[in-house]
Structures are given as structure tokens and as C-alpha cells.
Amino acid sequence: MRKFHAGEKIIYLPVGHYFLEDDGSISRIIMPDFLHIFPFAYEIRATQIEPTIAALLDDKSKSPDSSD
């Protein structure tokens, strides 16, 4: 995914490491079937990406095209 990062158009946010245990394994609490994250794991991911999304939305609200 990182190779598709294109500056302002695509932003790569590596958040996978937040789901790993200290030994690098994935807990069944986070990913019970080792394929899909458990619902509360989305909260972990949201917490990590929220500052970037907020900054992007703030930048858009200050653009000359925005109608306040």
C-alpha cells in the first residue's frame, strides 16, 4: 500500500502495529478468526487515524473554495 502513497491525494497511515502484541502476534481478542478485526478494534483504528482526518477536514474548511 505504501507504494501508492501520492502526497495529498492518498495518505498511507500504517496502523496495523497497534493490533499486535509485544511478541508481534495478533491476539484473538483483536482478531478472533485471524482475518477480521473485532468491533472494538475499529475504535483503536479510529483513534489512530482521527488526527489525520481532522487535519485534512480543517485544511479543506480553510480552502478558498469552501463556503462558510
- The one-digit pLDDT tens for each residue of the chain (68 residues) are 556 555 567 778 888 888 899 999 998 889 999 899 888 899 988 999 999 999 988 866 655 554 54
Q: What is the DSSP letter of 62?
A: T
What ranges in 13-38 are assigned the alpha helix state H?
A: none
The pLDDT, as a whole number, for residue 3 is: 63
Question: How far is Cα 27 from Cα 34, in angstroms, rounded to an integer?
Answer: 8
What ranges in 1-68 are assigned the alpha helix state H?
A: 39-61
